[in-house]
Structure 1
Amino acid sequence: MARRGKGRNISGVLLLNKPKGISSNRALQRVRAMFNASKAGHTGNLDPMATGLLPLCFGEATKFSSYLLDADKAYIATARLGLVSDTGDAEGTIIQERPVPELSDAQICDAMAKFLGDIEQVPPMYSALKQNGQPLYKLAREGKTVERKARAVTIFELKLLEWDAPDMTFSVRCSKGTYVRTLAEDIGETLGCGAHLVMLHRTHTGGFDASGMLEFDRLQSERDQDQSLDGYLLDTDVLVAHFPKKNLSAEETARILHGQDITCDQVYSDKVRLYDEQERFIGLAESAEAGRLKPRRLVVFEEQ
């Protein structure tokens, strides 16, 4: 999350195609500077070697970014069989080389099928997860290895796209918390030769796909020509479009914006999007009890 500082109080979501070789936070800072935005954050880290869909949130949209952190995601990835790295990907050092057997597409698909559905993954040492307040990757850089608990994740879809030995390209749709490089390593072990990830491109996250992504170069070119980039920002409520919608009266809006409950005939099983009489998104609410809605997270408008 970029800290609030000098700049414009703009709100919205930008879909960036993060390039290879830059951290998600660095990408965020570059785009934030282009927009001269006072507050910004991203919605789920992509490793420096990874490319693809990185939604960036500005202003009030940062309040709702967590709903994308929990979303399912999809990737295209390439694993190189026969070589194992200490990080599980191409950024690490090759620590083991093993012969790659003659493999057919069918044999690879059979191995991949073992990872469909609910599985457990042991998070890699080179990850941002913390143990006793210390990021695992820092311990790994010190040559330390600690025990990590396996985590439950779900692989909804896993398809082989191309087998060009020793490289195996596949698509995967998975739940939050899934490490695709760990998946690649585990498939390599199942095939008997090990593997490491050499390419990772995110194509979907939540309800967003790659069709709306923008490139750094395009944004920078228009910025250099003093063109406004604000037209590329999606409305804040796109982050929570999966929740049901409720329109409020002026009286209900006033109560909600003052942190008060309102009466409601319907009981919602999850959160609900709220809109005022001008169809402005004002935030999220949830059922407090039968017949009542309480505010959960609200938008602050400039005029208030």
Structure 2
Amino acid sequence: MNAPRTRVQRRPVHGVLLLDKPIGLSSNQALQKAKWLLRADKAGHTGTLDPLATGVLPLCFGAATKFSQLHLDADKRYVATARLGERTSTADAEGEVVERRHVDVKPTDLQRVTAQFSGPISQLPPMHSALKKDGKALYEYAREGIEVERAPRDVVVHALSVQAEPDFDAMPTIRIDARVSKGTYIRTLGEDIGNALGCGAHLRSLRRIETGDFSAEACISLETLEAMDEQERLAQLMPVEALVANHETVTLEAEDAGRFLSGLRRRGPWPDMPHVAVFGHTPKAFLGTAHVKGGELIPVRLLSPVEIQQILQQFNATSARTTS
């Protein structure tokens, strides 16, 4: 008989954890594992990675979930390998091979497809994706053998490198390094490149190395996080305002800060600005986001006074631990 499972006592946790998602886990599985390790009561991730993919997965806890959309919209950079000459049912190594073709690819062909798929392009979303149709994910239709009509979407490949791997003659594999706009499917990009080369292709590996300003070098693995004690885990969290690092900043004195938090506009000598991170002066605390128009600071998304107090307490507890 199995022993009863210990119930985890959840608590408010606020901040951003840069996770290096391991292969084999879905983004939600990785999120739930980190959430359990931190005993957090609220969490979300910014941008799904397939189970086959690894790399940068920003996890947002508590108040940070209010600003997660900012990184869903961020540009991302991926490094992938694609096997030429084989198409699969899912455009990656998890699917069944549905076609094999002879590979006759020269360096000039790789240069050609690099130019062809750089800049604005149109993609047909894959059936094996989380995109929804009538409230149901496309991959659910795919598992039932149903092909659903999809509309092409316009995306941008900001930078692209396509190169033959060193063992190309023994196994025709290419390395794709792409910095892309939101909504770009790298599996589809690899498959489309293979089709343009006349031989087909599917992804063998996929790693996200950047999302916005966050890079893989700053990430932590689940194994490392699991080996830490509770306070060390909390110390891995970046502050909520890390999600708005590229915003202009405005700092308010106590009276204006209180009124701003209640949703009131504030007047000041500010130029028009579309994206503003607002802070209180004493204590130094992130209050939320706003925009400035006509000298008015207009709230967009706010933290609650309770969240601000919890964040200050969390920061003070972590600081005390690291300086003791």
Asked whether the two chains share a fold, i.e. TM above 0.5, the reply is yes
The answer for the alignment partner of 1:117 in structure 2 is: 119
The answer for the alignment partner of 2:318 in structure 1 is: none
Runs of 4+ in 1 over 3 A off after TM superposition: 301-304
The answer for the alignment partner of 1:230 in structure 2 is: 234
Letter paired with 2:302: L
Letter paired with 1:205: T
Q: Provide the aligned C-alpha RMSD in A.
A: 1.5
Secondary structure at the counterpart of residue 271 of structure 1: strand
Residues 1:132 and 2:138 are matched in the alignment? no
Q: How much has 1:161 moved relative to structure 2?
A: 4.3
Asked if the contact 1:162–1:170 (Cα under 8 Å) also holds between the matched residues in 2, the reply is no
Aligned residues: 296
The answer for the alignment partner of 2:317 in structure 1 is: none
1:156 to 152, 155, 158: 158
2:277 to 273, 278, 284: 273
* Larger CA deviation: 91-100 vs 114-123: 91-100
The answer for the alignment partner of 2:217 in structure 1 is: 211
Measure the CA separation in 1 of the matches of 2:114 and 2:289. 40
- Counterparts of 1:65-214 in structure 2 under 5 Å? 65-101=68-104, 103-163=105-165, 164=168, 165-214=171-220
Secondary structure at the counterpart of residue 56 of structure 2: strand
Asked if the contact 2:124–2:153 (Cα under 8 Å) also holds between the matched residues in 1, the reply is yes
Residues 1:60 and 2:63 are matched in the alignment? yes
Asked if the contact 1:10–1:37 (Cα under 8 Å) also holds between the matched residues in 2, the reply is yes
Letter paired with 1:172: A
Measure the CA separation in 2 of the matches of 1:301 and 1:91. 47
Deviation readout 1:112-154 (Å, 9 max, x if unpaired): 2101000110100111111122211111111111221110100
The answer for the alignment partner of 2:12 in structure 1 is: 9
Asked if the contact 1:88–1:196 (Cα under 8 Å) also holds between the matched residues in 2, the reply is yes
Q: How much has 1:6 moved relative to structure 2?
A: 4.9
Measure the CA separation in 2 of the matches of 1:162 and 1:240. 38
Letter paired with 1:198: R
Letter paired with 2:261: L
Asked if the contact 1:100–1:193 (Cα under 8 Å) also holds between the matched residues in 2, the reply is yes
Q: Which runs of 5+ in 2 are unaligned?
A: 1-7, 311-324
Give the TM-score taking structure 2 as reference length.
0.88
Q: Which runs of 5+ in 1 are unaligned?
A: none
Give the TM-score taking structure 1 as reference length.
0.93
Secondary structure at the counterpart of residue 241 of structure 2: helix
Asked if the contact 1:72–1:175 (Cα under 8 Å) also holds between the matched residues in 2, the reply is yes
Asked if the contact 2:163–2:176 (Cα under 8 Å) also holds between the matched residues in 1, the reply is yes
1:250 to 249, 254, 262: 254
Asked if the contact 2:248–2:273 (Cα under 8 Å) also holds between the matched residues in 1, the reply is no
Letter paired with 1:84: R
* Larger CA deviation: 178-187 vs 251-260: 251-260
Percentage identity across paired residues of the two chains: 45
The answer for the alignment partner of 1:298 in structure 2 is: 302
Residues 1:45 and 2:48 are matched in the alignment? yes
Asked if the contact 1:123–1:150 (Cα under 8 Å) also holds between the matched residues in 2, the reply is yes
Q: How much has 1:269 moved relative to structure 2?
A: 3.8
Q: Which has the higher helix share?
A: 2
* Larger CA deviation: 210-219 vs 61-70: 210-219
Measure the CA separation in 1 of the matches of 2:80 and 2:267. 49
Letter paired with 2:219: M
Q: How much has 1:187 moved relative to structure 2?
A: 0.4
